[in-house]
Amino acid sequence: MRSAPRPRSARTRVAAIAAAGALALSACGSDDAPSVAAPKGEPEAVANLGFPVVATRNTTRTATNDPALAAAAVARAIYSGGAAETQARAVAIVDQGDWRAALAATSLMAPPLGAPVLFSDGATLPETTKDAIEALRPAGSAAAGGAQAIRIGGVGRPSGLRTTDIDGADGLEIATAVDRFIRATRTRTANRVLIVSADHPDFAAPAASWLAKSGDALGFVRGDEIPPSTVRLLRSQPKAAIYVLGPTNVVTPAATKALREYGTVRRIGGADPVANAVGFARYSDGAFGWNINEPGHGFSFARSGEILDAVTLAPFSASGLHGPLLLLDKPDVLPQAVQRYLIDVQPGYQNDPARGVYNRGWLTGDISRISATLQSQLDALLEIAPVRNAPSTAETAPPPTTEPAAPPTTTTAGSAPTPPARTE
């Protein structure tokens, strides 16, 4: 579909956002801040403003492969500090060397804590993390007993801040401890557990965005076994709704059989990491799941094989245009599953684009992970576009279709089909 030209005021606004984004990245990283090289044939002055790598019409990127710098940039984008509503109350600090603990820590972004993840390098806080904490000036979270920083495991201690600790022998133990901590901050909690494989990070990655939005409990399995820490988690939530993320070769039927002792088990996802993320984005079961099957949402894009990228982007799923994580498996090729999904949910208009709804994309990683060309393709699919022969009352894209592998569904007129809950 051909995109309609934007008015001058919109183009000016995009330029301002791009310049601000480039400045924010530079401020986070001091000497480690990424430089944005001009694509071939582009003026250097334009590249220095962040076009087209840091920002396009519908995408913004943290253009670095350093997880500590990327997490710092995302935290500062969300908590800009210009108003009381945009000041962080607390931050969560986790070791970047333990992806399981980092994944569990994304739950701390959910209400009432709103604590974005920042990274420690073992027991040492990187300068970028220190700089971000100084810029964020967390005010203290009443839900966390006034703590300004939540230390997860044996990470560095920020100077001058009130801290509280979440401890565990490993990432699996920490996941259970994080849930216990979150439950203590809430007057009411959902009896839900999201289960992922401790051995397949690519299939676990989409959990980051949902946990940041929901604060749901996260449990791990290993092969056919349910680890003792996950058993304790499940016993703390009797008859929980248990959602397994990943296909049967990732979370085995033997594991789901063992999980049924603790509650009703439903499986989500797809056969490969890309399809798995799309399946989770489409999924709905009552109050659980994104159910993103229509336009008007935010999306995060990360490379498969880089689960810390998924963790750094997770706070965007709990703020702004709240939305799911999608994975890209090559630096310069758009996966067909992602392309089909974005076409399904692409915004459209018949008469006036100003009366439509909009999609937005956040990316992380430099052009070696996601090329400028691929970012441009994503931008085009997120753009609101004219719809031919549409009903005069519709200002959105046509209803989406399910993935070919999904079971048949029935829908009411005008509703978007979503994969049904599959009980195991």
User: Mind listing the pLDDT tens digit for each residue in 308-357?
Assistant: 999 999 999 998 889 999 999 999 999 999 999 999 999 999 999 998 99
Whether residue 127 is predicted with pLDDT greater than 50 in this model: the reply is: yes
Residue 91 belongs to some domain of the structure = yes
Q: What is the mean pLDDT of residues 175-184?
A: 97
SS3 at position 399: coil
Domain that holds residue 182: 8-386
Residue 229 belongs to some domain of the structure = yes
Distance from C-alpha of 96 to C-alpha of 121, rounded to nearest angstrom: 6
Please give the model's pTM, rounded to 2 decimal places.
0.82
Instruction: Kindly indicate the confidence band of residue 307, based on its pLDDT and cuts at 50, 70 and 90.
Output: very high
Furthest CA-CA distance within the chain: 62
Residue 335 belongs to some domain of the structure = yes
Residue 396 belongs to some domain of the structure = no
Residue 332 belongs to some domain of the structure = yes
Distance from C-alpha of 313 to C-alpha of 213, rounded to nearest angstrom: 12
Q: Write down the mean pLDDT value for the chain.
A: 85
Q: How many residues does the chain have?
A: 424
Whether residue 410 is predicted with pLDDT greater than 60 in this model: the reply is: no
Q: What is the mean pLDDT of residues 50-57?
A: 81
Residue 413 belongs to some domain of the structure = no
User: Mind listing the pLDDT tens digit for each residue in 150-159?
Assistant: 999 999 999 9
Q: How much is the pLDDT for 144?
A: 96
Percentage of the chain exceeding pLDDT 70: 79
Distance from C-alpha of 168 to C-alpha of 171, rounded to nearest angstrom: 7
Whether residue 226 is predicted with pLDDT greater than 50 in this model: the reply is: yes
Q: How much is the pLDDT for 82?
A: 77
Whether residue 418 is predicted with pLDDT greater than 70 in this model: the reply is: no
Q: How much is the pLDDT for 292?
A: 97
Nearest to 64 by CA among 97, 35, 96: 35
Task: Yes or no: say if 230 and 219 are a contact pair by the CB < 8 Å rule.
Answer: yes
User: Mind listing the pLDDT tens digit for each residue in 346-402?
Assistant: 999 999 999 899 999 999 999 999 999 999 999 999 999 998 765 444 444 444 433
| Pairing outcome for strands 240-245 and 149-152 | unpaired
Residue 3 belongs to some domain of the structure = no
Instruction: Kindly indicate the confidence band of residue 189, based on its pLDDT and cuts at 50, 70 and 90.
Output: confident
Task: Yes or no: say if 162 and 151 are a contact pair by the CB < 8 Å rule.
Answer: no
Q: How much is the pLDDT for 187?
A: 84
Q: Of 13-27, 202-216, 281-295, 371-385, which range is least confident? A: 13-27
- In 163-271, at which residue ranges do the beta strands (DSSP E only) sit? 163-166, 192-197, 217-221, 240-245, 263-268
Residue 100 belongs to some domain of the structure = yes
SS3 at position 98: coil
Q: Return the number of other C-beta atoms located less than 10 Å from residue 338's C-beta.
A: 23
Q: What is the mean pLDDT of residues 23-35?
A: 40
Distance from C-alpha of 301 to C-alpha of 341, rounded to nearest angstrom: 13
Whether residue 32 is predicted with pLDDT greater than 60 in this model: the reply is: no
Number of domains in the chain: 1
